[in-house]
Amino acid sequence: VTQHRGKVIPTPLGIPAVATVHPSSILRAPDDAAREEAMAAFIADLRSVKRQLG
């Protein structure tokens, strides 16, 4: 996931996908700073999807 995170990935079915983390992994982050960083990255991934959808 890390290598492709936030990027559009072609799939065999011809439907593009965007890799990101599972939201529960954010909750399992070891401390508040890590959770905030993970949440910010997740939101950036969702914004990337929004841009791709137009």
pLDDT digits (tens, 9 = 90+) for 20-52: 999 999 999 999 999 999 999 999 999 988 998
Q: How many domains does the chain divide into?
A: 1
State which residues form the domain around 18.
8-53
- In-domain check, residue 2: no
- In-domain check, residue 25: yes
3-class secondary structure, 9 = strand
Gyration radius of the chain over CA positions: 12
- In-domain check, residue 42: yes
pLDDT of 7: 85
3-class secondary structure, 5 = strand
What distance in Å separates the CA atoms of residue 12 and residue 20, rounded to the nearest whole number?
A: 19
- In-domain check, residue 28: yes
pLDDT band at 1 (very low <50, low <70, confident <90, very high): low
- In-domain check, residue 3: no
The end-to-end CA distance of the chain, in Å, is 23
Residues contacting 28, CB < 8 A, separation 6+:
none
pLDDT of 42: 95
Does the pTM exceed 0.85? no
